[in-house]
């Protein structure tokens, strides 16, 4: 990872050049700890960057584990992107697994100590709010997509941040002007793990306020995308951090839904041939204090709503096979330029 001290010095401007003109500029906000889908989502974004489809400009952790940033950096570094900014919530703790989810194994410790990375301890990474503010302030208007595949504390604190030395705009103004779309791994109706687990008030405040486009990669598509058997057996878990993380999390030869990787696929590739809109005229979700979502579709006599949810346009197993094939790509292999999907 680039030296965090360069954040204040403007060094991140080196990452905002024209090399990725026309491509999606993506920030991932993740709760990666021991669930299997977060490393797949981060690896997927790195692979699609190598394929020329996206510029991953930051990966921000909404949890507090000192091991999350080096784990993220290990994945970024493996795919040739060691300078992608990484930040984590403070104060730091030592968690490597959710205490209530022991069925998922710890992979952060192994990513930190067994793979190449240069963070080692999240204590030395910047604050997520200042990182968000810099990345957004140095981006063109309406140019950034945020994939929120974790909790909403980072976005809440950003939304409520004031003008500072980084930008004269408030956090709410930066989000309203710089973000073209917020992609969330959450349900537009009912309960969701990411909105209701940590602090429902954060998700309620962010999503009820959000003035622009929001797309829900809901369980209808995300829970029905199951991969893992080939990654955990065919890839070298001693060299490939995705194979290592997935094998440590769910086991050799196992398969599991990869909710967050579905959200990131849409964030980069759009509807592609994979998805279609669930609601023909869009609408809006409203969250209550427990983060339970109620959906209202736009009426025929109203303008189309700014929010929508995804449905599959092809069999879920076809998409899952495509996604697992993509995640098996490794540096040094040819880019599949003849593919007909996810091309800008």
Among residues 226, 306, 216, which one has the least CA distance to residue 263? 216
Reported as type and span, the H/E element at residue 39 is helix 37-50
Rounded-to-integer distance, Cα 16 and Cα 249, Å = 34
72 near 292, Cβ under 8 Å? no
324 near 47, Cβ under 8 Å? no
Q: Which residues contact 178 (CB under 8 A, 6 or more apart)?
A: 136, 137, 139, 140, 141, 142, 143, 144
Q: What percentage of the chain reaches a pLDDT higher than 70?
A: 94
Q: What are phi and psi of 296, to 5 degrees?
A: -130, 115
Reported as type and span, the H/E element at residue 285 is strand 283-287
35 near 103, Cβ under 8 Å? no
| DSSP code for 331 | T
Residue indicated by tokens 């507090």:
64
- pTM reported for the whole predicted model: 0.94
Average of per-residue pLDDT across 307-336? 98
User: Structure tokens of 33?
Assistant: 């700890």
Rounded-to-integer distance, Cα 302 and Cα 105, Å = 48
Q: What is the pLDDT of residue 344?
A: 79
User: Structure tokens of 208?
Assistant: 């009820």
Q: Partners of 12 in the beta sheet? A: none
- β-strands 144-149, 86-88: how paired? unpaired
CA Rg value for the chain: 19
Q: What are phi and psi of 148, to 5 degrees?
A: -90, 100
What angle (nearest 5°) sits at the alpha carbon of residue 325, between those of residues 320 and 328?
125
321 near 327, Cβ under 8 Å? no
Among residues 54, 265, 68, which one has the least CA distance to residue 143? 54
H-type alpha helices, 219-343 = 219-222, 231-234, 241-250, 259-269, 316-327
Reported as type and span, the H/E element at residue 319 is helix 316-327
Reported as type and span, the H/E element at residue 6 is helix 5-9
164 near 133, Cβ under 8 Å? yes
pLDDT band at 326 (very low <50, low <70, confident <90, very high): very high
pLDDT band at 14 (very low <50, low <70, confident <90, very high): very low
Reported as type and span, the H/E element at residue 184 is strand 179-184
Q: Partners of 87 in the beta sheet? A: 60
Q: Model confidence over 88-147: pLDDT tens digits?
A: 999 999 999 999 999 999 999 999 999 999 999 999 999 999 999 999 999 999 999 999
Q: Partners of 41 in the beta sheet? A: none
Q: What are phi and psi of 110, to 5 degrees?
A: -65, -40
Average of per-residue pLDDT across 242-262? 98
Q: Partners of 88 in the beta sheet? A: 61
- Whether the per-residue pLDDT at 86 is higher than 90: the answer is yes
Average of per-residue pLDDT across 50-72? 98
**Buried-state track 231-267, b at ≥16 Cβ within 10 A, e below 16:** bbeebebeebbbbbbbbbbbbeeebbbbbbbbbbbbb
Q: Model confidence over 158-204: pLDDT tens digits?
A: 999 999 999 999 999 999 999 999 999 999 999 999 999 989 999 99
| DSSP code for 124 | G
């Amino acid at each position: 990872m680039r030296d965090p001290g360069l954040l204040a010095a403007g060094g991140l401007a080196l990452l905002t050049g024209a090399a990725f003109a026309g491509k999606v500029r993506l920030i991932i906000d993740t709760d990666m700890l021991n669930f299997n889908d977060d490393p797949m989502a981060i690896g997927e974004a790195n692979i699609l960057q190598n394929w020329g489809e996206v510029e991953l400009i930051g990966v921000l952790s909404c949890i507090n584990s000192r091991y999350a940033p080096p784990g993220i950096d290990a994945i970024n570094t493996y795919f040739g992107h060691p300078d992608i900014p990484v930040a984590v919530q403070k104060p730091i703790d030592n968690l490597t697994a959710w205490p209530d989810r022991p069925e998922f194994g710890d992979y952060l410790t192994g990513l930190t100590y067994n793979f190449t990375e240069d963070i080692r301890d999240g204590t030395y990474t910047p604050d997520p709010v200042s990182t968000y503010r810099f990345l957004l302030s140095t981006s063109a208007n309406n140019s950034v997509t945020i994939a929120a595949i974790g909790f909403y504390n980072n976005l809440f604190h950003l939304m409520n941040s004031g003008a500072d030395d980084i930008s004269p705009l408030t956090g709410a103004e930066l989000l309203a002007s710089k973000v073209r779309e917020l992609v969330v791994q959450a349900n537009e109706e009912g309960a969701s793990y990411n909105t209701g687990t940590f602090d429902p008030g954060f998700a309620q405040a962010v999503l009820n306020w959000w003035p622009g486009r929001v797309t829900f990669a809901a369980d209808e598509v995300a829970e029905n995308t199951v991969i893992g058997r080939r990654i955990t057996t065919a890839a070298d878990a001693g060299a490939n951090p995705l194979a290592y993380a997935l094998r440590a999390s769910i086991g050799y030869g196992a398969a599991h839904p990869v909710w967050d990787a579905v959200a990131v696929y849409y964030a980069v590739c759009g509807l592609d041939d994979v998805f279609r809109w669930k609601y023909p005229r869009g609408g809006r979700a409203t969250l209550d204090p427990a983060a339970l979502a109620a959906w209202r579709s736009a009426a025929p006599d109203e303008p189309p709503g700014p929010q929508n949810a995804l449905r599959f346009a092809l069999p879920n197993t076809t998409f899952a096979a495509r996604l697992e094939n993509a995640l098996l790509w490794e540096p040094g292999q040819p880019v599949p330029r003849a593919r007909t999907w996810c091309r800008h």
